[in-house]
């Protein structure tokens, strides 16, 4: 793999992927396209902006002419599409934005990939497209899609478009569907960094409903290594589920964060549940493990400790990203608590 276009490469997962590739796969040049919305941050790429193997371009994936120019100029071998509006709460507030980026943007990338003969298209999706699980069972790659939020519906639509381009025009593609990511550089609208930030500032920790919603937690570095395996070894047209095999209730995670930081559980504040809140997600990763030889390298206990330590060591980064627009959003979501 000589040259890849990474979209959304200044966001949480995308920036971690870019950093991993530049550190561990020096044979590969990364063209990094990001619109730099509220969740995209060049500070996430500190130490790599001047890397000779890294070319950052500010732009929108919906701009087909720009994408085509980049594909041609850099002789791109593959596109890895991380670019997405990804927060369920925001999708409930503004669903149209999610259709624009997640569906129309993906289609623009697919058309450019076809027009310029790109060899591989990897769509980074989510286990949320499968809907909600009961207390038993796991999501497999053949689980029917049953999205329950505007966010997951937009990602499911994008997945269908990727598969349609593969079927109709024989585009070489893979779709990955991951469980909940956590780790360094995650924007604090998401649960783990939100709770860390509030705990550090002795603010109430808003927990939806009864706190018993279950998620499978995947350390972001492990997700990145899995995507690299799919990119380089994935069978054309296949879907790969990526999970951390770490099912925890939201309340368990919050209490672990408070314990690690030496803060009182009195900070936990139960708030009204969000509309349509899925009860449980859980991933069966046996396919990617058996076929591509990937497995998680970090347990949740190790990973959550590493994540908390990173936020403690990077208080300036955290203070910067929670200023301005984030404060308005937070007050709107949680009534200023």
Give the CATH number of the domain where residue 162 resides: 3.40.50.720
Q: Does 260 map to a domain? A: no
Q: Does 78 map to a domain? A: yes
Domain that holds residue 107: 3-181+217-242
Q: What is the DSSP string of 309-331?
A: HHHHHTHHHHHHHTSTHHHHHHH
pLDDT tens digits, 173-220: 999 999 999 999 999 989 999 999 999 999 999 999 999 999 999 999
Q: Does 156 map to a domain? A: yes
Secondary structure class of 67 (helix, strand, coil): helix
Structure-model confidence comparison of residues 87 and 94, the more confident one: 94
Q: Does 228 map to a domain? A: yes
- Binning pLDDT at 50, 70 and 90, where does residue 329 land? very low
pLDDT tens digits, 9-33: 999 999 999 999 999 999 999 999 9
Overall number of domains in the chain: 1
pLDDT at 337 over 50: no
Pairing verdict, β 180-182 and 214-219: parallel
| Nearest CA among 106, 124, 115 for reference residue 161 | 106
Rounded distance between C-alpha atoms, residue 226 and residue 257, angstroms? 26
Which residues are part of the catalytic machinery?
A: 127-128, 151
Q: What is the pTM of this model?
A: 0.94
Q: Does 162 map to a domain? A: yes
Q: Angle formed by the axes of helices 250-261 and 191-200, to 10°? A: 30
Q: Does 333 map to a domain? A: no
Using an 8 Å Cβ cutoff, are 302 and 230 in contact? Answer: no
> In this structure, what is the dihedral angle of CA atoms 251, 253, 256, 257, given to the nearest 10 degrees?
-110
Q: Does 133 map to a domain? A: yes
Q: Does 208 map to a domain? A: no
Other CB atoms closer than 10 Å to residue 147's CB: what's the count? 21
């Amino acid at each position: 793999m000589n040259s890849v276009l990474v979209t959304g490469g200044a966001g949480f997962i995308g920036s971690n992927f870019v950093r991993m590739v530049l550190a561990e796969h020096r044979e590969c040049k990364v063209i990094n396209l990001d619109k730099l919305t509220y969740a995209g941050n060049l500070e996430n790429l500190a130490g790599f902006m001047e890397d000779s193997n890294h070319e950052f371009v500010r732009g929108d994936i919906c701009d087909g002419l720009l994408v085509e120019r980049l594909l041609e100029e850099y002789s791109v071998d593959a596109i890895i599409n991380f670019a997405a509006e990804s927060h369920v709460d925001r999708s409930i507030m503004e669903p149209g934005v999610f259709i624009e980026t997640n569906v129309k943007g993906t289609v623009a990338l697919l058309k450019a990939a076809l027009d310029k003969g790109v060899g591989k298209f990897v769509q980074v999706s989510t286990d949320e497209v499968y809907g909600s699980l009961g207390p038993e069972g796991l999501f497999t790659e053949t689980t029917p899609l049953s999205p329950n939020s505007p966010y997951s519906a937009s990602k499911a639509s994008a997945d269908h478009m990727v598969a349609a381009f593969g079927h109709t025009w024989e585009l070489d593609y893979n779709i990955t569907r991951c469980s909940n990511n956590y780790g360094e550089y995650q924007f604090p609208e998401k649960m783990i960094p939100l709770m860390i930030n509030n705990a550090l500032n002795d603010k109430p920790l808003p927990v939806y409903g009864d706190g018993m919603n279950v998620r499978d937690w995947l350390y972001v570095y492990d997700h990145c290594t899995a995507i690299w395996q799919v990119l380089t070894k994935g069978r054309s047209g296949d879907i790969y589920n990526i999970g951390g095999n770490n099912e925890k209730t939201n309340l368990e995670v919050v209490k672990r964060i408070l314990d690690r930081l030496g803060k009182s559980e009195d900070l936990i504040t139960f708030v009204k549940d969000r509309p349509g809140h899925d009860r449980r997600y859980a991933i069966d990763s046996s396919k990617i493990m058996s076929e591509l030889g990937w497995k998680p390298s970090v347990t949740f206990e190790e990973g959550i400790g590493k994540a908390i330590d990173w936020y403690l060591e990077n208080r300036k980064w955290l203070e910067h990203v929670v200023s301005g627009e984030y404060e308005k959003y937070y007050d709107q979501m949680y009534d200023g608590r």
